[in-house]
Homo-oligomer: A and B are copies of this chain.
């Protein structure tokens, strides 16, 4: 549980040595999650789930503020629903869990499926079709629009190559679904949510991103436009951190969602959908983690300050415990710039203090306070910031309480600045030919900013293991020609390998 003496860092594998192996270790040692015995499914442990809960709280506030109501729709979708939208079914049909029986019976001492269903049902991979069925009933006239719904739920997409937190058969997400009386209003929501995701990623998760639109081949199956925020992991690969889709009238046609417009005519509604998932917890690990483990941005840390008493089984223990408790209590009466009390945790588990300290470093708690007899006697606080767990700092309790909010801000900003620098350094503008790109992706990693003609030459990226991540809305390439085919470059694109 402690930092190994024979290593300079708490992780036995560094990022430079083996990034995928390092990531597995960060997730395990950081108590974020672990794979379950059911293939491809994961267990989110309290610390990792706590990060997701914080993200959920912050995002939900934003979603509610936009007039979206939370609701809950069934886990199961009739097979016939999935068949209604042709592109949708093509995109999802290959990776779904299918329920075929509703009973088990004991035969020869073993449980076997019994009572087959008349029609198999699938476990939702996404809820456009099932929510569409309700919307078709709820929407009668323009007065029922806009209809803005959001759902926090689990979804299942069968993964043949699962990776903990990043790509799991079951994952948790938020899925927004809205219906509108016209295209402009729907599109305005898509853009607003796209901005909301960006602000959330940068402001709360401290993850800088490249905003943009997906090319046709990378869109959500059934969407007319998909907007994305693409983050860069420390190995230079892209991670799609949140998408918002303009669905046009494709799903309203499939589900027959019509409204009587102000002219008294029946018209198909204009739809959007958008989501952010638990893979964001993995993105935080791969963006901010270091060779000592996870780093959690203070705004989404389940505990922002952890107070560890140093107990030696002697006469000081009682006073140390009382003082450590007092520090945690007084921290909870400090308000951070988020307008919420500091999330302070008093860790009185029966482990040695040094073990607990390293456990919290590996979990990425922003600040760890260790309380010994000398601190108690002097009314001092000895603490470490996760930005530098090797530097121990000390100050008076009152000073600590009055500066802790600034200290948390400094960690939040420090993590963002470090990640932003990495992103900027990782955007390559100097790769101008397909051969150069081929060579680059064979060894290097990063975002190649270049031009594309918009044509089928996109396919040529597949053998390289890369793809067009987005048509960025803010970055411009100085290239003239399409990197892939040499034709006329009509749009800027980011090309990268991805998770």
Contact = CB atoms under 8 A, between A and B. Distances in A.
A349 B106 CA distance: 55
Contact of A349 (B72, B143, B170, B349): B143
Interface string A137-153: 00000110000010001
Contacts of A76: 38, 41, 97, 169-170
Interface string A328-349: 0000000000000000000001
A103 interface: yes
A264 B304 CA distance: 36
B46 A69 contact: yes
A101 to B, nearest CB: 4
Copies in the complex: 2
Interface string A171-198: 0100000000000000000000000000
Interface in A43-64: 43-46, 49-50, 52-53
Contact of A43 (B74, B113, B121, B122): B74
Given A43-B134, A149-B46, A38 B70 contact: no
B94 A111 contact: no
A100 interface: yes
Interface in A61-90: 69-79, 81-83, 89
Nearest to A106: B93
Contacts of A99: 97-100, 123
B72 A44 contact: yes
B111 A83 contact: yes
Nearest to A143: B350
A71 B93 contact: no
A102 interface: yes
B38 A77 contact: yes
B104 A42 contact: no
A216 interface: no
Interface size class of A (residues with CB under 8 A): 35 or more
Nearest to A94: B103
B170 A74 contact: yes
A277 to B, nearest CB: 13
Contact of A44 (B71, B101, B169): B71
Contact of A104 (B98, B102, B133, B142): B98
B130 A75 contact: no
A360 interface: no
Nearest to A148: B46
Contacts of A44: 71-73
Q: Which of A73, A89, A170 has the most CB of B within 10 A?
A: A73
A156 interface: yes
Contacts of A43: 71-74, 134
A181 to B, nearest CB: 11
13 contacts: A36-B73, A37-B133, A42-B74, A44-B71, A53-B70, A76-B170, A79-B111, A89-B111, A95-B102, A96-B103, A98-B99, A99-B100, A112-B120
Would you list the 9 A-B pairs with minimal beta carbon distance, nearest first?
A46-B69, A41-B74, A44-B72, A98-B101, A143-B350, A102-B158, A93-B104, A98-B113, A38-B76
Interface of A: 34, 36-38, 41-46, 49-50, 52-53, 69-79, 81-83, 89, 93-106, 110-113, 120-123, 130, 133-134, 142-143, 149, 153-154, 156, 158, 169-170, 172, 349-351
